[in-house]
Amino acid sequence: MQEDEIRNRIKEIIANVAGLDPTKIGDHATLRDDLNLDSLSLLEIGVDVDFAFKLNLPDERYKEVQSLDSMVELVQGRLAEPRSEAV
């Protein structure tokens, strides 16, 4: 999957949880500060991203994600791995 496609899909998910227009989410937006998301919303985003891309990652990996950029990286990295189980 192309990075643009990944980024746009993640933006949609974040936008849905944050109640925003996806076009309003800057490419380098930080989740807590720029987008004002609390822990419950961040958890929801992690759940929705994992489901959307079928990543099968534990919650802890998503807790480390602070920004849209790092979420894109996480997804790209996971999709590139040869897979049998969750890390």
Contact positions vs other proteins (CB under 8 A): 16-20, 36, 38-41, 43-44, 47, 50-51, 59
**23 or 39: whose CB is closer to other proteins?**
39
- Shortest Cβ distance from residue 58 to other proteins (Å)? 9
How far separated are the first and last CA of the chain, in Å rounded? 21
Residue 43 phi, psi (nearest 5): -60, -45
Please name the residue that has the structure tokens 């189980």.
85
Which one-letter DSSP state was computed for residue 33? T
Q: Which is nearer to other proteins, 20 or 73 (CB)?
A: 20
Nearer to other proteins, 11 or 50 (CB): 50
Minimum gap (Å) between residue 60 Cβ and other proteins: 9
Is 10 within 8 Å of 68 (Cβ atoms)?
Answer: yes
